[in-house]
Structure 1
Amino acid sequence: MFAKQLQKYFFTVVVLASILLVYLWYKDYSFSSSPLEEKHQLSILKKQQELKVLAYRNFKIKKEFPLIVSDKMSAQRFGMTTYDRNKNIIIHLNKKRFKESSNYMINDVLPHEYAHAIMFYFKDFTNENSGHSKRWQNICKQLNGLRCDRFVNHEDILIEKTNPFK
């Protein structure tokens, strides 16, 4: 009798775990194979507009910096800003990182990268502190960057991921 009940319980657990596994696989596949959610796209646009206003107000910059959200970046990167031979300045954000922390990407990484774009605009290609000089930090703060650190603080992301009230 006990063995039969244990067998039913085990079978139920295996079926539920299989369903959960398929659901998580599908959710992961859907994220990877489709564009960023519309709510994230709208948040990015809103933040870009805010940064554009701050760049004009604080630095008299009217230039728009193109932004590309891509899943082609290394998983370790949150974003990067490039300056090419044609003097184009482009901000890149890692789509994969939106999955774990969209608020961090929009409110921390975007101002961080926008500060790099402004440094490039001013032709300041300093290697001081890997491009994170005092001037860069000041620009980042004037763009309302929440954390103008040199690198990502993974504890900030962990706190957001475990926040039940978000």
Structure 2
Amino acid sequence: MYKTKQFMISLCLLSGMAGSALAAGSNSAATAEAMRVIKASGVVRMVKATSQPAKFPCIDKTWKKSEAEVQGLYVANFTSEELRAVADFYETPLGVKYITAFETQAYNRNHPAQVKAVATFSDAEQNEIKQFYETPAGKKYMSGPEAQIMTDATMRIGFDIAVACFKAK
């Protein structure tokens, strides 16, 4: 139960990860940008950080069943320009460092005997992250009503992965 709860919490840290399959095919530019956000924000890596390598094939298989839905929700709730701005930020060296810090924290919570160092952020880096989240795209992605839609879907997808991959022995 503890590992499943930690898994759900870790997955929700990246609350912008979910979607609707019908909308995914309707806007190819936005769909491409949605895939960039999904990859750059590390949703699958985050889930794997909460688990053991033996569970990775199950996580990948279960995630694949939800990936089109994730793309679709992004397309339905964000413009391609907003998605591009989010992906562009997460693909910068600072964005990669930021996402990696979340992954490392998730890993450390679930692997206390193998704790890894978590990146620290300078004042300038913290300011740059804050500035991104104060942009229109950053605000919408992190705290707009769309963020709640994404969080709700992420929790459901996380539950699906937990049920499929983290069965009690």
TM-score using structure 2 length:
0.28
Q: Of Structure 1 and Structure 2, which has the larger fraction of its residues in helix?
A: 2
Task: Determine which structure has greater relative contact order: mean sequence separation of CA pairs < 8 Å that are 6+ residues apart, divided by chain length.
Answer: 2
Q: TM-score, normalised by structure 1?
A: 0.28
